[in-house]
Amino acid sequence: MSIPDDFDLQNFLPYLLNQAAEESSLSFQKVYKDRYGMLRTEWRVLFHLGIYGRMTAKQIGERSKMHKTKISRAVAKLAERRFLTRQKDEADRRLEYLELTPAGLRAYRDLRDVARAYDSQIAARFSEDEVALLRRMLRQLAGGAR
């Protein structure tokens, strides 16, 4: 029984994107995990603060599309490790501004350099035009609707 079917799983875009994403994250994950004991959510928050500077959890959520509970937990961990400080907005006391400490900034810069090198290494597997097109398509796919 069980008539084999010719659906091409290896080319099904959601599956393929997942496989590529997982594979391409592996080496970088190893670094932020082994070197700083971080989770994916944590380096993402760290990077947002490192790149854009002082911002609130809400703003991180808008940029990263992470759910607020993930952010809340990542922020708690980073604060515990003294990688960031929290500071309530006096005008609107629901808001809390997050900012990297010098230690957090050092960790960010270290990982940023690793990320840059790793990205180049991946990009080097293709021509410049190809990589540019890949990034453009991925941005569009990531962008959601339409």
User: Per CB under 8 A, does 79 bind a copy of itself?
Assistant: no
Burial (CB count <10 Å: 0-12, 13-18, 19+), residue 73? middle
From the list DNA, a copy of itself, none, pick the one residue 76 interacts with, judged by a Cβ distance below 5 to 8 Å according to partner type.
DNA
DSSP of 9-63, one letter per residue? GGG-HHHHHHHHHHHHHHHHHHHHHHHH---HHHHHHHHHHHHH-SEEHHHHHHH
* DSSP H or E run through 66: none
Q: Which is nearer to a copy of itself, 15 or 76 (CB)?
A: 15
Residues within window 34-73 making contact with a copy of itself, judged by CB under 8 A: 44, 47-54, 65
Q: Which is nearer to a copy of itself, 69 or 140 (CB)?
A: 140
From the list a copy of itself, DNA, none, pick the one residue 68 interacts with, judged by a Cβ distance below 5 to 8 Å according to partner type.
DNA
User: Per CB under 8 A, does 138 bind a copy of itself?
Assistant: yes
Give min distance, CB of 118 to DNA, in A.
20
